[in-house]
Every structure is written in C-alpha cells, then in structure tokens.
Structure 1
Amino acid sequence: MQKTLRSLALASLPLLTLLSGPVLAIPEGKTECIAPAKPGGGWDFTCRSVARTLQELDLIPGGMQTINIAGASGGVAFSHVRAKRQGDEDTIVAASTATTTRLAQRRYAQGKADQVRWAAALGADYGIIAVAKDSPYATLTELLDALEQDPGSVSFSGGDVAGGFDHLKVLMSARKAGVEELRDIKYLAFDSGSVAITQLLGGHIDAFTGDLSEALGFVKSGDLRLLAVFSEERLPGEFSGIPTAREQGIDVIAPNWRGFYLPGGISDESYQWWVDNLDTLYASEAWKQVMQDNGLLPFHKSGEDMTQFVNQQIQDIRELSDTLGLIQ
C-alpha cells in the first residue's frame, strides 16, 4: 500500500528553503524493504541487515519491515513493484548482479532497467562453489575434472533460476576448464541460497553455487566446505583460507554487488533522500562491521553513478549470455 510522504519544507518559510538548499522528502512512518526471495538468501540478508543498521543509526523515522516476495529470481518482485508500487516512496527493493543478469537476458516479463530507479550498491559478495563436508571433491580442480570427463556427472544447486548469475558462475568455470558440452551440466534452481544448500546437505545435490554470505553460516557450522571463491585475490581476515578459482587455474571473477532499487515514479526529492541516507549508512562504522562479519568487500556506487553502472553491466552480461547460448 502506497503511503504519503511529507516535506521537510514549511510553505510559510520560503526564505529558510532558499538558505538551506534543496528540500528532501522523507517517509512519515514505517518503511518496507522487499526481498525478492524466501528468507535465508542473499536478498533477504541485504534487506534485514540494512534495515537493522538504518534503524540503529536513526536514518529512518520509523522501523523498516522486510517483505519477502519470492519467484523467478527477482522477477515476481520486479513485476509487483512495477505494477503495484509505482510512486511508493516508502519502499526499497534488494537487488544484486542476479537482478541485472535477468534483465540482461530479458527474463523479467516486460521488465526493463529504466522502469525502476537504481539507488545504491553497498558492498560486493563474491561468488563461491561449495560442497558438503563429506564430498569426494576436495578442490575445484577435481570437481571440474569430473565435469570435463562427463558434464552430467556433477549436479549443482543455486538460489537463482537456470541461466542466472549463480548458474553463470558454473558455466564460466567449466568453459575455462575445457568442458565443451555446457548444456549437459545439471543445475537445479531453488527460491533461495539456504534452500539450495539444504538440498545439498540432504545428499540430493553434489555442489552449491552461490555467494559467500549465503554459505557462511553453514561453513562456520562445519557442514559446508568451500572449494573456491571467485575474487581477484584471497579475501581478508577469517576468509583468507578460501582458495580463489584463479589460483586453481580457473580465471573467473564473479563479484555480486548488493544494493537497492526504488519504485519508478517516485519524486526526485525522495530518490535523493534515499540515496543520501544509503550513502551515510555505507560510510558508517556500523555498516563496515556488518560487511566484515559477512564477507562483504568494499563496493559503492549511488545515484547517477549507480544507474550508469547497472546499464553497463546489463550490456556486458547480455553479450556474455549470448556467447554462452543463454538468450533465445
């Protein structure tokens, strides 16, 4: 339900407006963050961690509720926002490279990037490939060697649809390893990374492809073993023991930015209010701690820079997907 917003300006004090510069609109009460997946995945993490930090820093006037709208790798949420939330200035929507991937591949029904307003990216969550603790595969090389011998011998699960960014990580790695029949690789899509990992731990799948934040809890519990992280170099601190794909001879880098878009049709004033507050959140010590605790690396764009970045990424992923035969 769309809520009304109030302006910080008082019509009776035009001089104050002139002296203080542009006037921004702010939400009156509670706000909502739409996570385009079931609880437990990366988008859900993005909403809940940002909501908590915004509240701790008093950057929003009321609480922020997370609303989970799962389906079609963000497509159901995107369609909902486009159809039901136009002009809703109290709502933000979690997004990532998975979002731009599906837009690039034209997988959102009638969905286009310019139908929403891109607000900010607040960190990068690098992709990983993991197996259960008792898996016969000890390294990424061993797993990819099995694929090269028989592309259908290893099954993968991910919290993204077939052809999405999680799937792309596997296909790019397999191509680098010399696997020719990429279409024969088994990939099963689930509504969130946590569900995909549960299927792996249940013995139904051989490997998981997703992001570090999705797998972290299972790694710390000892249930999951990380074979590779798709970063330029090893991650800092407690994650330094995770080998990169690149050092195992697979030159694939797969950063998954995490951030937000806003409904189309909102005012420029409200858009700028959200951008400014997300910028403030990103610069805070509280958010730096959240990033450190969850394996996020620095990555920040906002406002017009974010919009330009999204448009370029969509173009790049469209070209890659076409090369891999993922666009019909």
Structure 2
Amino acid sequence: MRRDTFLKSMMALAAAGALPLSAQAATAMKMMLPANPGGGWDTTGRAVGKALIDAGVASTVTYDNKGGAAGAIGLAQFVNGSKGDANALMVMGAVMLGGIITGKPPVNLSQATPLARLTSEYNVFVLPANSPFKSMAEVVAQLKKDPGSIKWGGGSRGSTEHIAAAMIARAVGVDPAKINYVAFRGGGEAISAILGGNVTIGGSGYSEFAEYITTGKMKPVGVTSDERLKGIDVPTLKEQGIDVSIGNWRGIYGAPGISKAQRDELIAKLDKALKSKSWAESMEKNGWTPAWLAGDAFAAFVDKEFASLRDTMTRSGMV
C-alpha cells in the first residue's frame, strides 16, 4: 500500500472513532464552563483540561466561561453551538439540576450527551472573620427570631447551598420560603460578598473557601456531610442537632448529536486523564472525593438525581 493511501485510511479510521485511543493523535478540545471564573465548575473544568493535555489525549484545551442561571445560559450556548462536535465538553453538576428545576429554562440536559461523573464534595458554611456571630447555633437562633435578617450567600438559585439553607430552615422550624438567600453568578462573587460582610453566612464547596479558612478570613461553622470531612476540623450540621445532609457532585457532558463511538472515545479520554498525575494533584489540592461513573450508568444517575432533588426542593418550599 502506498504511504499516502495508508495515511488516508488511518485518518478515516480515526475520524470514525475506529482506532484505539493510543493510535489517535491528540486533538484540540473545547471546554464550556457555565459559570463565572473562580467557582467550582471553573476550577474543575480547568483541572480536567490540564489533565487531558498531561495525559496526551488533547493537544490544547480552550475555555469559555458563561455564567448565570445556575449554568442554564452556558448550557444553552453549548447545546445550540456544539451540535455534533466530538471535541466539545461541558462541566456540570448538581447545581445545574437544581437550577433547571427552579428556572425551567428552554434548554435541557437531555439535549446534550452524558459522559461521566468526576467528583463529589460537601458544602461548608462560613462566617466572615468579623461576623458578630460565632457559631451556627447563633445564626440559627437569629434565624428563628427574624428569618429575613440572615442573608445566606452562595451560588445560583437552586444550588446545593441554596437547597441546604432551605433544609436548615425547615429542620429548625422556620418556613423555608422566608429565608433571605442572595444568589451569585460565580464563586468569585460569592467569596467577595462574604469577605466584605455583605452576607451573613456563605456556603460552597470546601475547596472554594479553603485558602480563606486557612488564613482566618472565614470561620467555618458547619458542613453538610454525614461525618466530619477527613483532615478538616469542622463539625457537621448533624453534630449540631440540625438534621441536614446534602452532597454536591460534578461531571462532564458532551455535545448533542455525537455518535455512541464518539461518546465512548470521550469517556476513554476522560478516564485516562483522571489517572494522570495532574488530576491526582488537583484532587488533593481541592479536597475532592473521586466519584467516577460513566456512560449509561451516569445518565441513569442524573435522572435519579433530578427526581430526588425535585422532591427535596418541593418539601423545602423551593418549588
């Protein structure tokens, strides 16, 4: 076989996804980050991109931050602008599900392609360093006296910290509909509001607040896990008599209209990336828990999460 004929054949096989991962050239990939810079999705997406490059399955990764509406704005751009693009990825997670339930946007996750769940993480609630409150018990006492006087700061409406705040209110006998929740478009905005004392109490994944907790600029007063997080000396809400536990998770979706072979190839690339040294370092740095679940199993998990979150939010007065 002539060399040019051989090369054309190999390129055709690669385009069809018929070549094994190791035989294909690293490709330029695109990552939709449906949030403003500085938050959990932004951090996760950039860590995945770095891992894809370090694992040799992507030559470059470009990022597009598009915050707002719990990720629905970025989702709409991704769905409408990436159809059939086997090199396009989007970060998403439990927050997006909550936002879709409350916001009812014209686009839905069912229009994109589920690839894999990557990590799980619990929320931590923090007070500004100069807060007049010293504990979650003091915040709850004031919440009972005057629900509107406590400003809860966090991600978009329907985020896990929003749901957790409503669950806390319900657990201590306060009407969840009366909580004063201030939603921000990204983690950076929420952090600034907390540090500036513009909200009473803030919530997010521990990784987003870690440096401010370490430097004493934020005081952690409770985590939403069933048991204390490893290496983190923060009491759970349950320890404090508040029967609330809720986790966060993050995953990756592919573009609408890609083939099963293309989906499986993207999953294989992600699997290889998550075994890289780069990803291991990101996991340790951010305190993430591995939660790999891919393909059809991940799609079924998302469907189940939708139903569970809708039930929780309905019972908490959010829907």
Greater CA drift, 67-76 or 217-226: 217-226
Match of 1:44 in 2: 42
Offset at residue 284 of structure 1 (A): 3.9
Q: Show the counterpart of 1:244.
A: 236
Secondary structure, aligned partner of 1:30: strand
Within 5 Å, give how 1:1-328 maps onto structure 2.
Answer: 11=9, 23=19, 29-60=27-58, 62-105=59-102, 107-161=103-157, 163-179=158-174, 181-237=175-231, 239=232, 241-327=233-319
Structure 1: gaps spanning 5 or more residues: 1-8
Alignment CA distance shift 1:177-1:10 (3 Å):
farther
* Cα-to-partner distance string for 1:264-288 (whole Å, 9 max, x where unaligned): 1012222111111222233445423
Paired residues of 2:160 and 2:247 also in contact (CA < 8 A)? no
Q: Over aligned residue pairs, what C-alpha RMSD do you find?
A: 2.4
Deviation, structure 1 residue 12: 7.5
Distance 1:30 1:165, change over 3 A: same
What's the secondary structure of 2:152's corresponding residue? strand
Q: TM-score, normalised by structure 1?
A: 0.87
Deviation at 1:324, TM superposition (A): 2.5
Q: Distance in 2 between matches of 1:198 and 1:94?
A: 23
Residue 100 (structure 1) shift: 1.6
The structural deviation recorded for 1:103 is: 2.7
Does the residue aligned with 1:152 lie in a helix, a strand or coil?
helix
Deviation at 1:28, TM superposition (A): 6.3
Structure holding more helix per residue: 2
- Cα offsets for 1:192-220 (capped at 9, x unmatched): 12211201211221111221122122222
Indicate the residue corresponding to 2:4 in structure 1: none
Give the 3-state SS of the residue equivalent to 2:262 in structure 1: helix
Deviations 1:201-260 (A, max 9, x none): 1122111122112212222232111111111211113x2x11111211122222111121
Determine the structure 2 residue equivalent to 1:5: none
TM-score (norm 2): 0.89
Q: Distance in 2 between matches of 1:12 and 1:232?
A: 52
Q: Which amino acid aligns with 2:91?
A: A
| Distance (whole Å) between structure 1 residues aligned to residue 106 and residue 79 of structure 2 | 10
Contact 1:127 1:255 in 2 (8 A): yes
Structure 2: gaps (5+ residues): 1-6
Deviation, 1:27, is: 7.8
**Deviation at residue 88 of structure 1 after TM alignment:** 1.5
The residue identity in structure 2 corresponding to 1:153 is S
The one-letter code sitting in structure 2 at the alignment partner of 1:171 is: A
Q: CA 1:82–1:12 in 2, change beyond 3 Å: closer, same or farther?
A: closer
Change (3 A) 1:242 1:319: same
Deviation (angstroms), 1:13: 11
Q: Distance in 2 between matches of 1:149 and 1:194?
A: 31
Whole-angstrom CA distance in 2 between matches of 1:117 and 1:47: 17
Q: Which amino acid letter does the alignment assign opposite residue 61 of structure 2?
A: M
After superposition, the C-alpha distances for 1:41-69 in whole angstroms (9 at most, x for unaligned) are 11100111111122122122x11122101
Structure 1: which 4+ aligned runs deviate by more than 3 Å?
9-14, 21-29, 283-286
Deviations 1:290-309 (A, max 9, x none): 21211111222111111000
Question: Equivalent residue of 1:227, what SS?
Answer: strand
Q: Deviation at 1:93? A: 0.5
User: Residues 59 and 288 (structure 1 numbering): CA distance in 2 closer, same or farther, change over 3 Å?
Assistant: same
**Whole-angstrom distance in 2 between the partners of 1:325 and 1:202:** 29
Deviation at 1:112, TM superposition (A): 2.6
Superposed CA deviations along residues 112-132 of structure 1, whole A, max 9, x for unmatched, are: 332111111111121111111
8 Å CA contact retained: 1:113, 1:311:
no
Alignment-mate amino acid for residue 250 of structure 1? I
**1:91-144 deviation digits (Å, cap 9, x = unpaired):** 111111101222334x24222332111111111121111111121222222211
